[in-house]
């Protein structure tokens, strides 16, 4: 049963169904995107440039310099990435929560209004924030563990590492070591934020529930994550590369400002649209996974009850079915 359903459920089907919901309430999702999702995506697009500018002013990577930047002037380039990251962290639950709430209700044909979506943040903001923080802590622990394993391996083979200026080969090796694990975690956590909104769970529980719910549908979840994530990454990299190559060598600062503003707004708009479709697709995937697992659980219970209800009669060649009321 589960195999037949998983074959019918494809990435194209999930994406088209999500697109149908967002198109049917296009003005509503446009308003939510303008309020929450676009500022969040704007932060994502410009963050690499701010981080690179701040990192270039440091003599090597020293975490205490980043901590001291909190006491510095907010206009200090060292403080901007930290402040922007905090801004995005607070904005993410608003963007994710309202989009998920609206998509779930719109998919079930319920009324979708801007006021109800914003009011839903009263119940979903802090659970969403806690789940986001827990997931990032786990990802950071995976990254630290991978770094310790890599450094220990290099020390065993006798390779010296320059911590202030690591080589590109070492960076690539680290990425190849940690990236598969992080991708596997993100695929398993694809439905976590939907569980937060729909089932009112928080912290580690939505992550665990998503890993159980996505079983049998990991291929679809991986397609959503990789395809939408690839587009978002390309937009962020495009803006960062353009800003990094053109910015230092361009002499007309006023023209540069307007060109950069147009590119960052355009990139942020594209990232906003892709993120909206990605969130809606995960909601649709959650609905299908939930229905599939409930159906499988019902069939298992029915099968157990059917076996328990079939009792031997006479010499065992004839069985009598006892119907439970």
Structure-token match 């929450």, residue found: 36
Question: Residue 265 pLDDT > 90, yes or no?
Answer: no
Question: Residue 5 pLDDT > 60, yes or no?
Answer: no
Reported as type and span, the H/E element at residue 69 is none
**Per-residue model confidence as pLDDT tens digits over 244-254:** 555 544 555 56
Q: What is the average pLDDT across 116-140?
A: 94
Confidence of residue 128 (pLDDT cuts 50, 70, 90): very high
Q: At what angle do helices 121-157 and 192-199 cross, to 10 degrees?
A: 150
Structure-token match 């909601």, residue found: 283
Spatial CB neighbours of 236, under 8 Å, sequence gap ≥ 6: 44, 45, 48, 267, 271
Spatial CB neighbours of 72, under 8 Å, sequence gap ≥ 6: 78, 79
Collapsing DSSP states into helix, strand and coil, what is residue 144? helix
Confidence of residue 314 (pLDDT cuts 50, 70, 90): very low
Query: According to the model, what pLDDT value does residue 252 have?
Result: 56
Least confident of 13-17, 63-67, 74-78, 285-289: 63-67
Mean pLDDT score across all residues of the chain:
80
**Percentage of residues of the chain with pLDDT beyond 70:** 72
Beta strands in the chain, from DSSP E residues, in sequence order: 310-313, 318-321
Query: According to the model, what pLDDT value does residue 280 have?
Result: 96
Number of neighbouring beta carbons within 10 Å of residue 180: 10
Query: According to the model, what pLDDT value does residue 321 have?
Result: 33
Query: According to the model, what pLDDT value does residue 319 have?
Result: 38
Question: Could you tell me which residue, 240 or 226, shows the higher pLDDT?
Answer: 226
**Per-residue model confidence as pLDDT tens digits over 92-120:** 999 999 999 999 999 999 989 999 999 99
Beta strands in 53-148, from DSSP E residues, in sequence order: none
C-alpha span between 9 and 15 (Å, rounded) = 10
**Per-residue model confidence as pLDDT tens digits over 168-222:** 777 888 888 899 999 999 999 999 999 999 999 999 999 999 999 998 889 999 9
Query: According to the model, what pLDDT value does residue 257 have?
Result: 67
What are the structural domain ranges in the chain?
A: 2-321
Query: According to the model, what pLDDT value does residue 170 have?
Result: 78
Query: According to the model, what pLDDT value does residue 76 have?
Result: 61
C-alpha span between 103 and 277 (Å, rounded) = 10
Tell me 70's DSSP state: G
Q: What is the average pLDDT across 300-314?
A: 52
> Looking at the chain, how many residues does it have?
325
C-alpha span between 133 and 128 (Å, rounded) = 9
Identify which of 80, 199, 86, 207 has the alpha carbon closest to the alpha carbon of residue 139.
207
Question: Residue 126 pLDDT > 90, yes or no?
Answer: yes
**Per-residue model confidence as pLDDT tens digits over 279-303:** 999 999 999 999 887 776 555 555 5
Query: According to the model, what pLDDT value does residue 142 have?
Result: 93
Query: According to the model, what pLDDT value does residue 313 have?
Result: 42
Number of neighbouring beta carbons within 10 Å of residue 277: 19
Take residue 7 and report the two structure tokens written for it.
Answer: 């074959």
Take residue 33 and report the two structure tokens written for it.
Answer: 């995107």
Q: Percentages helix, strand, coil for the chain, rounded to the nearest 5?
A: 80, 0, 20
């Amino acid at each position: 049963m589960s195999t037949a359903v998983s074959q019918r459920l494809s990435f194209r089907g999930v994406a088209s169904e999500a697109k149908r919901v967002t198109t049917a309430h296009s003005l509503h999702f446009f308003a939510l995107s303008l309020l929450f999702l676009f500022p969040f995506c704007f932060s994502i697009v410009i963050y690499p440039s701010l981080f690179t500018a701040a990192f270039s002013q440091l003599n090597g990577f020293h975490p205490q310099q980043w901590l001291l930047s909190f006491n510095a002037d907010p206009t200090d380039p060292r403080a901007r990435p930290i402040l922007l990251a905090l801004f995005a962290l607070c904005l993410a639950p608003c963007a994710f929560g309202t989009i998920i709430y609206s998509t779930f209700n719109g998919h079930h044909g319920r009324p979708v209004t801007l006021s109800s979506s914003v009011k839903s943040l009263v119940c979903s903001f802090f659970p969403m924030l806690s789940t986001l923080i827990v997931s990032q802590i786990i990802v950071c622990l995976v990254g630290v563990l991978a770094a310790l394993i890599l450094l220990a391996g290099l020390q065993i083979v006798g390779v010296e590492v320059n911590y202030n200026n690591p080589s590109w080969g070492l960076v690539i090796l680290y990425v190849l070591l940690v990236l598969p694990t992080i991708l596997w975690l993100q695929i398993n956590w694809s439905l976590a934020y939907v569980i937060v909104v729909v089932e009112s769970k928080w912290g580690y529980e939505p992550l665990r529930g998503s890993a159980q719910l996505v079983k049998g549908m990991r291929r679809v979840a991986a397609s959503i994550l990789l395809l939408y994530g690839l587009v978002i990454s390309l937009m962020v990299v495009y803006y960062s590369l353009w800003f990094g190559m053109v910015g230092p060598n361009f002499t007309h600062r006023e023209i540069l400002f307007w060109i950069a503003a147009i590119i960052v707004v355009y990139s942020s708009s594209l990232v906003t649209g892709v993120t909206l479709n990605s969130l809606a697709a995960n909601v649709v995937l959650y609905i299908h996974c939930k229905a599939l697992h409930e159906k499988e659980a019902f069939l298992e219970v029915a099968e157990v009850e059917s076996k328990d209800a079939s009792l031997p009669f006479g010499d065992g060649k004839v069985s009598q079915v006892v119907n439970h009321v």
